[in-house]
Amino acid sequence: MSPCGESKERIHLYVDNELTPPEALEFERHLVECAACRAEYQRVRAVADVIRGAHPVYDVPEEAAGRARALIERTEQAQQWRWLAVAASVTLVVALGALGAWGFWHSRTPDFPAFAADIHLRYARSALPLDIVSADPDVLSEWLHTRLPFHVDLPDYPVLPGEEKPYRLVGARLLQFGGGDAGYLVYEMGGKPISLLIASTPEAASTGGETYRSGRLVFHFYQHKGLEIISWTDHDLHYCLVTEVATAGAGSCVICHGGAGERQMFENLTPQRRQ
């Protein structure tokens, strides 16, 4: 006697608890009514019970579990060390990258001093004419006053009796920097030009370089394209002075302000930590 076609599959599903409760109930009702399916169910059930009753059938060697545990512990420990090594390497790479970026940022010449250096070089090779030529600071101050959005008073060099001015004013012109007007003044000392740029735009603010403090002023010293550059900010105006004179750091100030009247200023200059 063969079981019903559809129910043959259901016998195994029922034996393996794969039917939903309503399906199982329906199948149980069918078993009551169908002798053929009942007989087949009992045969399948008997085989399943014999195998399940012999659980676990295969004995696991006692030492096998110990070897498996040792393998897991050994591997996981090695993986932990590997992860630590990877984490340490990543940290080192990030730290070196940050250090490199920091070094690059602090060693590069900011835009305003680099711009000032380019202007200076252009003037030095006669590629940048001046708008006004005058050695009188009052004349140039007045000229700049009418053309710039900020006021600049050019001081006259305080000469003590018996002293000579170490430099002289040559002239001025207007420039554009950072979307704003900038004043460009040219001095001359020993036949070599000295450039001074003055701007009010925030992009011209001094950063980086070798810094020195004198009172409320902080001076930034750079070397760029063989030029000595000093920048500082005073009363929201940003200054940048470019010379070809080969001195380093605060020594540059001595060139122009080496007179007895101003010696106090550069003597107070003290190097600061890089910012």
Provide the mask over 168-187, with x wherever binding to other proteins is found by CB under 8 A and - wherever it is not. Answer: --------------------
**Nearest distance from residue 216's CB to other proteins, in Å?**
60
d(CA 199, CA 269): 23
From the list 5, 6, 21, 58, which residue makes contact with other proteins (rule: CB under 8 A)?
A: 58
Give the closest residue to 185 by CA, choosing from 225, 228, 152. 152
Q: Can you spell out the DSSP letters for 166-201? A: S-EEEEEEEEEETTEEEEEEEEEETTEEEEEEEE-S
**Nearest distance from residue 26's CB to other proteins, in Å?**
18
Binding of residue 57 to other proteins (CB under 8 A): yes
From the list 35, 75, 96, 190, which residue makes contact with other proteins (rule: CB under 8 A)?
A: 75
Calculate the CA dihedral of residues 199, 202, 208, 211 and round it to 10 degrees: 60
Residue (28 or 138) nearer to other proteins, CB: 28
**Nearest distance from residue 22's CB to other proteins, in Å?**
18
Q: What length does the chain have?
A: 275
Residue (16 or 131) nearer to other proteins, CB: 16
What's the Rg (C-alpha) of the chain?
45
Q: Say whether 54 sits in a helix, a strand or coil.
A: coil
**Nearest distance from residue 226's CB to other proteins, in Å?**
55
Binding of residue 28 to other proteins (CB under 8 A): no
Residue (18 or 234) nearer to other proteins, CB: 18
Residue (36 or 246) nearer to other proteins, CB: 36
Asked whether the beta carbons of 238 and 205 are under 8 A apart, the reply is yes
# of chain residues touching other proteins (CB under 8 A): 36
Binding of residue 160 to other proteins (CB under 8 A): no
Binding of residue 213 to other proteins (CB under 8 A): no
Q: What residues have CB less than 8 Å from 246, skipping those under 6 apart?
A: 228
Q: Say whether 209 sits in a helix, a strand or coil.
A: coil
Give the closest residue to 112 by CA, choosing from 23, 3, 238. 238
Residue (12 or 263) nearer to other proteins, CB: 12
d(CA 73, CA 79): 10
From the list 32, 60, 127, 160, which residue makes contact with other proteins (rule: CB under 8 A)?
A: 60
Q: Where are the alpha helices (DSSP H) in the chain?
A: 5-15, 21-33, 35-53, 62-107, 111-124, 137-145, 251-257, 263-267
Binding of residue 82 to other proteins (CB under 8 A): no
Provide the mask over 116-135, with x wherever binding to other proteins is found by CB under 8 A and - wherever it is not. Answer: --------------------
Interaction site with other proteins (CB under 8 A): 8-9, 12-13, 16, 18, 39, 42-52, 54-58, 60-61, 64-65, 67-69, 71-73, 75-76, 79
